[in-house]
Amino acid sequence: MEILELARWCNELLEVKSFDDYCPNGLQVHAADQATSVVSGVTASLELIETAVEVGADVLLVHHGYFWKGEPAALTGVKGRRVRELMRHGISLLVYHLPLDAHPELGNNVGLGRALGLDGVPLGDSSLIWGATLAEELLPASLVLRIAEKLGREPLMLGPDRPLRRIAWCTGAAQGAVVEAAAAGFDAFISGEVSEQTYHLARELDITYLAAGHHATERFGVQALGRRIAETFDLDWLYADLQNPV
């Protein structure tokens, strides 16, 4: 199918016009007109591009692309090298950031909740924070084990160590949202990254904070969207899980 048609379909499915994002969503690099084979991954790194080249893909679908607000616009250095490789091998780049965090069926947040057995909902119509109330209390140590088992890495836990009944989460670098989660009455908040000040916030807000990994918490959306594309349009698709400890 035509890459522009695929991009329009994804844009409509994920309602990209509803988001004021930090980067352009949709087709970021138009390297070829046709789409026959898709590789999806979290970040459009050179390693992921090389993986797409190896398998002969002509579309790369990622959560983290290029052209972020505040970064230099010139295609030089690392970004220039990445874009050059995409263009040289005829691989177009599709990027969906916040729309792929928020989607109620294919998004990172709903995917993380499902993986951890948390039946959650967004805190509001426009909120990226999800929350769930458990039928029974859960010990923080049990939640740590569950995260380690499902995500393949042990999270860093901060704050109080007491039974949990209400758990909120937001994938990626949403450690600052621990303040909103605490204000909404949640006992614990899960995100990807952690900052120095998160330690103090968790203690002073009296909320358990778990840093489960930016990459680890944001692997769900690109898999779900890639699978949906493959099923809808009968395209070849491969998810490349390139490990990242952060």
Which residue, chain included where needed, has tokens 């690392």?
78
CATH code of 170's domain: 3.40.1390.30
d(CA 48, CA 39): 9
Kindly report the number of other CB atoms within 10 A of residue 118's CB atom.
21
Strand partners, 188: 167, 208
Whole-prediction pTM: 0.97
Question: Cα separation of 184 and 103, whole Å?
Answer: 22
pLDDT means per 10 residues, the chain with 246 residues, are 98 97 98 98 98 98 98 96 98 98 98 97 91 98 98 97 98 98 98 98 98 98 98 98 94
Identity of the amino acid at 29 = V
d(CA 144, CA 211): 10
Longest dimension (CA), the chain: 55
Are 142 and 188 part of one and the same domain? yes
Q: Out of 39, 61, 96, pick the residue that ends a domain.
A: 96
pLDDT score for 125: 80
- DSSP-assigned letter for residue 31: -
Decide if 165 contacts 187 (C-beta within 8 A): yes
Give the 3-state secondary structure of residue 30. coil
In the chain, how many domains are there? 2
Indicate the length of the chain as a whole number.
Answer: 246
Q: Specify if 55 maps to a domain.
A: yes
Where in the sequence is the domain holding 19, given as residue range(s)?
3-96
